[in-house]
Copies of this chain bind each other. A is one copy, B any other.
C-alpha cells in the first residue's frame, strides 16, 4: 500500500504509537482540573506539552491554546469579529473552514473582500496596500491542494505596518518549513495535529495577545480560561510528541525536495500534455497536484487505488464534489483541467515516487486508449 494523501491526514507517527500503547495501558486518567495529585499531575503534563509546542513554534506558552483542531481554531478567530461590522480581506484559496466563516460574517454585516490569485497559485497581496480600511486580513501559508507557499511573512509584516490584524493558516506549513511565531508579526494562526501524525481531534490556536480573545466554548478555566471543557490530554500529549520532533520531520521533507522535482520532470516527459499546478511557484515538497486533459479524476483515482495507491482528487473536505475546486477556480484554471485533478501528498521519509510514476504512466496509456471522458460529451450539472 502507498498512502499518498498526507495533506488530508498523516498516518499515526511511530513514536506516538509507542507512547500511546504504554500511556493507555499504564498511564493515569484523571481530570486536569481536579486538585488531587492525579489531577495536578495531568495538569502538569498538559503545561509541559504546551511548553514543548510553544518552543517548536517559536511562541510563548501562553500564546498556545489547545483546541479540537484547526477548524475550531478558525471559528474562534472569526468569532472575534462577529459582533461588529468589520472589514475583512482574505484569499479565495483558503480552506473552506475560513471561507464558510467569511460567508457567515458577510451575512452578519461584515464587509468581505478577496485578494486575486495568479494562475501559478500565488496570491496577489497588492490590495493590502490599496484598500482603505482593513480590520483583519487572512492568508494560508501553504495551499493544501497545490502546495504553493504564499509570502505569508511579507503579508504579516505589511499587515503589522498598516495596523491590520493578520491571520495565517499554518495547517500545511508546519512540519515542512520552519516557523517562528514570535518574529512573524502574525496575530492569529492555527494548525491541526492529525496532519502531523498526532491523533485526530487536537489542534492549536496561536494568538499574539491571548488576553484579548473572546471564548467560543465557555464555562471552565481550562486553557487560561480561553477554551473551556475538559482537555483532550491524550490528544495534547500525542501532539507534543510530534511537535518535539518537528526539526527531524522538516529535515526529511527538505531531503524530499529534489526527489519531488525529479519525479515531476519525469512525469512531464512521459505524459507531455500533463499539467502540474503551481509547478513554477515555490512549493512544499511531497505535494504534486496534476491533471491530464481528457482523463477524469475519479477514473485515475480508482485505477491507482486498484494498484494500492491512495490519492485524493482535491482537498479531502470537498472530495465529493465532481467540480473544479474553488482553489483552481481562483487560479483561473479551465474546467478541462480542473475536473481531472489528482493530488499526491507523500510522507517525508519514504520514496515511493518511482512506483507511483510507473503506475500513473500505465494508467495514462490505458485510459487514453479507452477514450476521452469529458472532452467528447456535455457535462450536465
Asked if A71 meets B230 with Cβ closer than 8 Å, knowing A25-B21, A316-B39, the reply is yes
Hey, which chain B residues are within 8 Å of A176, CB to CB? none
Q: Which one of A1-9, A54-62, A150-158 is at the B interface?
A: A1-9
Interface pair B312/A230, CB less than 8 Å apart: no
Interface pair B68/A201, CB less than 8 Å apart: yes
Taken together as a complex, chains A and B put the C-alpha atoms of A24 and B95 apart, in Å, by 28
Hey, which chain B residues are within 8 Å of A310, CB to CB? 30, 34, 36-38
Copies of this chain in its oligomeric complex:
2
Give the residue of B75, B98, B301 whose beta carbon is less than 8 angstroms from that of A36: B301
Mark contacts of A56-100 with chain B using CB atoms, 8 A cut-off: 1 yes-contact digit, 0 otherwise: 000000000000111110110000000000000000000111111
Interface pair B312/A36, CB less than 8 Å apart: yes
Kindly report which residue of chain B lies nearest to residue A320, judged by CB atoms.
B35
Interface pair B34/A316, CB less than 8 Å apart: yes
Interface pair A68/B71, CB less than 8 Å apart: no
Interface residues on A, range: 35 or more
Is A232 on the interface with B (CB-CB < 8 A)? yes
Asked if A219 meets B99 with Cβ closer than 8 Å, knowing A72-B68, A312-B34, the reply is yes
Is A371 on the interface with B (CB-CB < 8 A)? no
Interface pair B194/A230, CB less than 8 Å apart: yes
Interface pair B97/A39, CB less than 8 Å apart: no
Hey, which chain B residues are within 8 Å of A98, CB to CB? 219
Give the residue of B17, B20, B216, B298 whose beta carbon is less than 8 angstroms from that of A216: B216
Give the residue of B100, B194, B220 whose beta carbon is less than 8 angstroms from that of A317: B220
Which of A31, A235, A316 gathers most chain B CB within 10 Å? A31
